[in-house]
Structures are given as C-alpha cells and as structure tokens.
C-alpha cells in the first residue's frame, strides 16, 4: 500500500513538544492513535488524537469509533505537494460524511499543509491551489449534507501553523470569539498596533484584535516571551520545566527593535501573556496602556466568570487529527 506521509505528527510535535522542523525528519510513522494532552490554562484544555496514516474508517476498532464519536473537531491534513488532489479530496469528503453521521456536532477543519519552498513562495500560487481545492470540494460535495470545513494554509517552516491552530483553538471556547471587540477597544484606546493574548507554553494565541495578523510581528511576540522565560530559567530557577515559576504575575518586559517596533509584554493570566505591538515611541504610551490594561483584565475576568456560570466550559475538548 502506498502511504503518503503528510506531517500530522510533525504538526503536533512542533507546536506542543517544541520539536524543530529538521527534527521532524526523523519521526517514525504513527502505528496507533497517540494522545497529546494540553492543559496550560483554562482556555487550552484539550486533547489532540494523532491518527495513523493507514487508518481506514471501514476497519476502525471500538476505541477509534469512540474517539471519533466524541471528537469536538476533526482536523484533516492534506499534503499540498501531493498532486493531483482529486483522490485526497474524495477521501476527505467520504470520511467527513461518515464521521458526521456518527457525530453531528463535530467541526471539520482542513489543513492544506507543507505550503513552503520556492513553488509556494508567492501569494498567487497559494491562491491558485486554494481555489482549485475549494472548487473540487464544491464539485464533489453536492449530494452530501455536511457542514463546510474551514480551510487553512500551513507549514511547520514558519508560524502559519501556529496562527491556523490558534484559530481552531479559539473555536473550542465560546468566550474567545467574543473577546475581539474587547481587544479592539483596548488597542485603539491605547494607540497600539496589535495585541495578542498568547499561551506562553505552546505560543498559540487565544485571541487578538481585528487588525490583520502578520507573521513577522507575531513571531517577534513569541520570541519576546521565550527570551523572558529563558532568562528566568537560566538565572532564577532550579527546575528547567517550571513555566509557572518563570512566568508569573510580575512578569513584564519592554523590548525595542531597530526596525522601529516596540513590544510590551505583560502577565495576562495563568501561563498567558498579553503582548502589544507598538510601532511608535513606546515610552510615551506606557502609562496609558497600563491604565487601559487594568480595565481590560477586569472586564475579561468578569466575562470568564459569567461564562463559567452559564456553560461548563472547563471540560477537555477532543481534537482528532487525520489524513
Ligand atoms: N516541507 C515540509 N515538510 C514537512 C512539513 N510537515 C511535516 N513535514 C515532513 O513530512 C514528513 C512526515 O511527517 P510525519 O509528521 O511523520 O507525517 P505523518 O502524517 O504523521 O505520517 P504517519 O504517521 O505515517 O501517518 C517528515 O519528514 C516531516 O519533516 C511541512 O510543513 N513542510
Ligand atoms: Mg504520524
């Protein structure tokens, strides 16, 4: 049997276990479902289930069935370097309708993965493939009554993977999509250019304002968190893995870059950082930001408490990753 290796395990290990892109070259093929539990804070409580590449729904065992019946999300990974796409799309749609039949609450996400290298360097080439795949889905999906899957373009070579997984994670918690307005107000009142609320362990962001995300400034924000944590671990702590000790409610930093960017990072909650991107003089704005930040934190806390009362949102979400 010809099994295409798509990068499912690489995706999870790069984001959740800090593997570098080159280390993924040595990953072994997944033989059984592997579980990746994430529980860094209230918002990132989930379990990713990494399915083997040769999984066939027609031959699934009872455990696999149970996982698929309980999954909140199914992330299907398609290798964009593996053309033509007809067979893969057909396979995806068949799997999607079979899972939908046993689990109508499952949300489907399609990752067009390995968008890297010369071939995909231009936006036009990305759009061409995106259009081709969207068309194929439309053509093949006419008679099926399944909800459309959101399509994401990803690669482990840059932070596009983190950005797209962040968007999926945001759907796990009903409060997160509502926070964009709050962050928009905070950003405009504080005259900052962008703000991210980032999980300091995975670097996935829980929410951001509505201005466009650019990979460069997001990468700077993630690096700023790493620098702060690594310095604490290097000089202050005995236990190298103790993120909680390295990042606490006193954690705060301002960084200036010679391209004119300034980053202002502050503790936002357990293992959560708010990182503000400022393109003008940051010193003049710090007091304004601090003042608005108090309002932001208080409002966010109230929203969380209300949300907790109404919904049982603390449960672990299950996310199946399949090709
Ligand atoms: N160029 C490129 N290669 C990638 C990317 N993601 C994963 N790979 C490579 O793809 C190969 C397969 O990765 P795996 O993560 O083992 O794939 P898998 O889908 O888990 O494979 P099975 O467990 O056999 O189903 C590895 O050599 C990775 O380095 C990517 O974004 N870009
Ligand atoms: Mg694998």
- Asked if residue 102 lies in contact with residue 69, where contact means CB atoms within 8 angstroms, the answer is yes
- Asked if residue 164 lies in contact with residue 111, where contact means CB atoms within 8 angstroms, the answer is yes
The CA 33 to ligand 2 mean position distance, Å, reads: 9
Mean pLDDT throughout 127-155? 88
Encode pLDDT of 284-295 as tens digits.
678 899 999 999
Decide: 116 in ligand 1 pocket, CB within 6 A. Answer: yes
d(CA 178, CA 312): 17
Residue nearest to atom 29 of ligand 1 (CA): 25
Mean pLDDT throughout 293-301? 93
Whether the per-residue pLDDT at 250 is higher than 70: the answer is yes
Q: What percent of the chain has pLDDT over 70?
A: 92
Q: Ligand 1, residues 6, 23, 158: which to mutate, most atoms within 8 A of Cβ?
A: 6
Q: What percent of the chain has pLDDT over 90?
A: 56
Helix (H) or strand (E) holding 211, with range, is none
Whether the per-residue pLDDT at 4 is higher than 70: the answer is no
> Which pLDDT score, from 0 to 100, does residue 117 have?
83
Contacts of 78 (CB under 8 A, 6+ apart): 6, 85, 88, 89, 92, 110, 111, 112, 113, 133, 323
Q: Ligand 1, residues 24, 75, 153: which to mutate, most atoms within 8 A of Cβ?
A: 24
Encode pLDDT of 258-287 as tens digits.
888 899 999 999 999 999 999 877 666 788
Residue nearest to atom 7 of ligand 1 (CA): 7
> Which pLDDT score, from 0 to 100, does residue 1 have?
27
Encode pLDDT of 6-45 as tens digits.
689 999 999 999 999 999 999 999 999 999 998 888 788 8
Decide: 44 in ligand 1 pocket, CB within 6 A. Answer: no
CB atoms within 10 A of CB 254: 15
CB atoms within 10 A of CB 148: 12
Whether the per-residue pLDDT at 5 is higher than 50: the answer is no
Whether the per-residue pLDDT at 233 is higher than 70: the answer is yes
Return phi, psi of residue 53, to 5°.
-65, -30
Return phi, psi of residue 215, to 5°.
-60, -30
CA nearest 317: which of 49, 112, 98?
49
Encode pLDDT of 116-133 as tens digits.
988 788 889 889 999 999
In the chain, the domains with their CATH numbers are 8-172+314-322 (3.40.50.300), 176-310 (3.30.450.190)
Instruction: Grade residue 239 by pLDDT with cuts at 50, 70 and 90.
Output: low
Decide: 25 in ligand 1 pocket, CB within 6 A. Answer: yes
Instruction: Grade residue 237 by pLDDT with cuts at 50, 70 and 90.
Output: low
CA nearest 209: which of 229, 184, 231?
184
- Asked if residue 73 lies in contact with residue 110, where contact means CB atoms within 8 angstroms, the answer is no
Ligand 1 atom having least distance to the Cα of 161: 31
> Which pLDDT score, from 0 to 100, does residue 210 have?
95
Ligand 1 atom having least distance to the Cα of 27: 16
Helix (H) or strand (E) holding 160, with range, is helix 160-170
Encode pLDDT of 153-171 as tens digits.
999 999 999 999 999 988 8
Decide: 55 in ligand 1 pocket, CB within 6 A. Answer: no
Encode pLDDT of 169-224 as tens digits.
888 888 888 899 999 999 999 999 999 999 999 999 999 999 999 999 999 999 99
Instruction: Grade residue 317 by pLDDT with cuts at 50, 70 and 90.
Output: low
């Amino acid at each position: 049997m010809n099994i295409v290796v798509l990068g499912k395990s690489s995706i999870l290990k790069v984001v959740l276990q800090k593997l570098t892109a080159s280390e993924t070259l040595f990953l072994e093929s997944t033989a059984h479902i592997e579980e990746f539990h994430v529980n860094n804070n209230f918002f990132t409580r989930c379990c990713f289930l990494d399915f083997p590449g040769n999984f066939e729904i027609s031959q699934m065992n009872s455990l696999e069935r149970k996982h698929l019946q309980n999954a909140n999300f199914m992330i299907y990974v398609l290798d964009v370097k593996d053309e033509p796409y007809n067979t893969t799309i057909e396979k995806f749609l068949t799997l999607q309708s079979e899972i939908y039949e046993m689990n109508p609450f499952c949300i489907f996400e399609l990752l067009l993965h390995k968008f890297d290298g010369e071939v995909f360097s231009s936006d036009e080439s990305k759009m061409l493939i995106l259009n081709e795949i969207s068309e194929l889905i439309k053509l093949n999906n006419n008679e099926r009554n399944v909800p459309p899957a959101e399509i994401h373009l990803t690669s482990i070579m840059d932070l596009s993977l983190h950005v797209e997984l962040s968007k999926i994670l945001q759907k796990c918690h009903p409060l997160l999509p509502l926070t964009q307005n709050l962050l928009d107000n905070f950003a405009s009142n504080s005259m900052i250019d962008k703000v991210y609320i980032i999980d300091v362990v995975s670097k996935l962001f829980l929410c951001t304002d509505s201005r466009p995300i650019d990979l460069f400034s997001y990468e700077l924000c993630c690096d700023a968190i790493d620098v702060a944590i690594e310095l604490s671990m290097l000089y202050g702590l005995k236990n190298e893995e103790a993120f909680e000790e390295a990042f606490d409610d006193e954690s705060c930093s301002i960084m200036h870059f010679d391209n004119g960017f300034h980053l202002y990072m502050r503790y936002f909650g357990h293992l959560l950082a708010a990182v503000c991107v400022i393109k003008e003089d940051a010193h003049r704005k710090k007091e304004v930001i601090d003042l608005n930040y108090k309002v932001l934190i208080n409002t966010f806390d109230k929203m969380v408490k209300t949300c907790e009362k109404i919904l049982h949102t603390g449960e672990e979400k299950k996310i199946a990753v399949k090709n």
